Amino acid sequence: MNLEDLQNELNATIRNIPDFPKPGIQFKDITTLLNNAKVFTMLMEFLESRYKEFHLDYIAGIESRGFIFGAALATRLGVGFVPIRKKGKLPFTTVVEKYALEYGFDEVEIHIDAFRNIENSKVLLIDDLIATGGTAEASIKLINSIGGNCIEACFLLKLLGFDAFDKIKQYTEVFTILDV
């Protein structure tokens, strides 16, 4: 499957919810993608084809929708999956990274031994969507701080009108499937 065909399928499958969670926001609902076995399989086949030659060691997914895509892709590629979670959600020793929100700050964390203490593990970061890029930037910093090497950040959707792509490009390569 080529990228253009996949983009057309995703555009036809992902539901737009106007004014959610607040007025003026056009929410991209991926549940309609997840419950469409045909299109979800097409997406996973495309990602598997793209990343099989990267010889990854791990895929790191950002809570929570990145878990879905990351774990599914990790099983297809035969590599480990590493969750990046909101602060206070992981049970073992963690490393934490703070990032700015529109009003305030939040934090994400990763287990200190997520890459089994193997230096320069090749890691793909994945999430469903990139907007401002704060969570992704913090996640890349976490991956690199514990000895991983984030070789690319992959997002299903890139929200137009934000500078996230340029922000993340400072740290790693960025791949997005669909600009919305």
The DSSP secondary structure of 14-25, one letter per residue, reads SEEEET-SSTT-
Whole-number pLDDT of residue 162: 84
Contact 117, 77 (CB under 8 A): no
Q: CA-CA distance, 97 to 125, in Å (whole number)? A: 15
In 29-147, where does DSSP find H-type helix?
31-34, 37-51, 65-77, 134-145
Angle 37-51/3-13 helices, nearest 10 degrees? Answer: 150
73-87, 132-146, 161-175: least confidently modelled range: 161-175
Angle 37-51/65-77 helices, nearest 10 degrees? Answer: 60
Residue with tokens 């555009």: 11
Please determine, for residue 90, whether its predicted confidence score (pLDDT) is greater than 90. Answer: yes
pLDDT 10s digits, 37-89: 999 999 999 999 999 999 999 999 999 999 999 999 999 999 999 999 999 99
Q: Taking the model in full, what pTM does it have?
A: 0.95
Whole-number pLDDT of residue 164: 87
Short-list 113, 114, 59, 63, CA closest to 86 = 63
Whole-number pLDDT of residue 147: 95
Q: Which residues pair with 123 in a beta bridge?
A: 58, 150
Q: What domains, with CATH codes, occur in the chain? A: 55-179 (3.40.50.2020)
pLDDT above 90 coverage of the chain, percent: 86
Number of other CB atoms surrounding residue 96 within 10 Å: 14
Residue 160 or 111, more confident? 111
Q: Which residues are catalytic?
A: 65, 102
Please determine, for residue 14, whether its predicted confidence score (pLDDT) is greater than 90. Answer: yes
